[in-house]
Amino acid sequence: MSKHSIKIPPIGLTFSRDQMPQLGPKDGFLANLQKHKIKFHKVTIDSKDLKSSQGEFNKDAIASLMVDPKTAKSAIVISKDNYVLDGHHRWAANYNNDEKTDAIQVDLPILELIRVAKTFPTTKYKDIQHITHSIKKVVKESIILRNYK
């Protein structure tokens, strides 16, 4: 697929990628949620029902995820009001492939979830130019998330 034919999902909020928390290992993030008694659960949601909190996308990253459905199926993190916190490019790949998206839905609205996520020790920051793909890492996180009930 040509990156010129990739659709960017409608932009909800417009935080730049370098302002958005990158959660690091999902098991650490979920453990932090549990430690702070913040509820979350697994969902499978129509990709068109989600909204972005990040205003920047890398079409090359989306294209590579579109041809690797197993990686794109790794769960993303969303807020209770259906904003994507982490996993914008996996969501965009599913959106383009007209697939549902697996997610961990946290019981907080997006602005509160961003604020809380920024306080966790595993949180990092990257700008849009430094997005990298590690299929092994995403697949490993997918396996870890399957073990959370």
The pLDDT profile of the chain, 149 residues, written as one tens digit per residue, is 555 689 989 888 877 777 777 777 777 889 989 999 999 999 999 999 999 998 888 898 899 899 876 777 788 999 999 999 999 999 999 999 999 999 999 999 999 999 998 887 766 655 444 454 443 454 455 445 555 54
CA 67 to chain centre: 18
Which pTM value belongs to this model?
Answer: 0.78
Residue 78 token pair: 């969303």
Strand bridging mode 83-86 / 76-78: antiparallel
For residue 54, which phi and psi values (nearest 5 degrees)? -105, 135
Joined together, the tokens standing for residue 102 give 């697996």
Domains and CATH numbers, the chain: 9-141 (3.90.1530)
